[in-house]
Chains A and B, each alone.
Chain A
Amino acid sequence: MELYFFLFFAIVAVASSVAMILQRNPIYCVLLLIMVMISIAGLYLMLDAQFVAIIQIVVYAGAIMVLFLFVIMLLNLSREEGGVFRIQKPLAVLLAALLFLPVAAMVMSYAGGGTTPPADGGGAGFGEVEQIGTLLFTKYLLPVEIAAVLLLIAIVGAVVLTRKGTVSVGE
């Protein structure tokens, strides 16, 4: 039963992501990527990562992808024009195939791995918000603070970059 759920989410994720990189219309690309995000959230739920699954849906599918959609609609992009770099497609496929080799070698090197959940059932309350919150504010306090500063920099940077009139690029 669990395997069927895994296969369902995996097939939806892979099919949507392949359709995404082949899709010409940017808005359909965004919607397909949201499909990928939601199926990955389903996989997170199967891995007992409830907090991460909710974050995935709220932050990724809800906020980040809406930002993409907003920018695409703001710029009114409907179709992608051709480029000047003629051999890009074959070269890109070749490079991606080359990248396949190290990634496949890495997965193969882990072929003897265990199962999820582990055979002994794992610890009780695994992946619950309490456990994650405790770790976030004790062991990982410094990374969380750095992430907060990073978000602040991103907010200020985005506002400064897109403010009209003051940034004189090109004029």
Chain B
Amino acid sequence: MIPVTYYLVLSAVLFLVGATGVLIRRNAIIVLMGIELMLNGANLSFVAFARQFGMVDGHIYVFLVITVAAAEVAIGLALVILLFRNRGTVNIDEVRSLRW
């Protein structure tokens, strides 16, 4: 039996590493991947709590989070492709203007 706190610490570490990745990287695709890592950290807490309390509801939330992540990635990568086509870069420092 593993204390649920271990899972919480691991999920917090993954969340923070993901957040750091979002903040320090300049490549828009890697920033999206950092967001995926943060979502995974949150999912791990959901599943750990679901096991502790013996309720499957947490798994349903993880399922919905994965659905939202898939939708987010599809739209995000479409925007990245559009950005690359119009600007020739995916460096988010270069994308500063609100209009072209």
**Chain A interface residues (CB < 8 Å from chain B):** 2-3, 6, 10, 13-14, 17-18, 20-21, 26, 29-30, 33, 36-37, 40, 43-44, 46-49, 51-52, 55-56, 59-60, 63-64, 67-68, 71-72, 74-75, 77, 80-85, 88-89, 91-93, 95-96, 99-100, 103-104, 106-107, 110-111, 113-119, 122-123, 126-127, 131-132, 135-136, 139-140, 143-144, 147, 150-151, 153-155, 157-158, 161-162, 167, 169-170
Q: How far is the CB of B67 from chain A (nearest CB, A)?
A: 4
- A115/B12 in contact, CB under 8 A: no
Q: CA separation between A23 and B28, bound complex, in Å?
A: 14
5 pairs, A vs B, C-beta closer than 8 Å? A33-B33, A116-B7, A116-B52, A132-B63, A158-B78
Which residue of chain B lies nearest to A71 when distances are taken between CB atoms in the complex? B77
**What chain A residues lie within 8 Å of B19 (beta carbons)?**
96, 99
Secondary structure type dominating chain A contacts:
helix
Report the nearest B residue to A83, measured CB to CB.
Answer: B93
Interface residues of B in 61-95 (CB under 8 A from A): 62-64, 66-75, 77-82, 84, 86, 89-94
Given A17-B18, A114-B52, A147-B64; A40-B1 close (CB under 8 Å): no
Give the top 7 A-B pairs by smallest Cβ distance, nearest first: A83-B93, A92-B23, A21-B21, A154-B71, A96-B20, A161-B78, A115-B1
Identify which of residues 1-41 in chain B touch chain A, using a CB-to-CB cut-off of 8 Å. 1-10, 12-21, 23-27, 29-30, 32-34, 36-37, 40
B17 engages A43 (CB within 8 Å): no
Contacts of B2 in A (CB 8 A): 2-3, 6, 46, 115-116
Which B residues fall within an 8 A CB radius of A? 1-10, 12-21, 23-27, 29-30, 32-34, 36-37, 40, 43-44, 47-48, 50-54, 56-57, 59-60, 62-64, 66-75, 77-82, 84, 86, 89-94, 100
Summed over the interface, the residue pairs from A and B with CB atoms below 8 Å come to a total of: 250
Chain B interface mostly helix, strand, loop or mixed? Answer: helix
Instruction: Determine if B75 and A135 form an interchain contact, defined as CB atoms under 8 angstroms apart.
Output: no
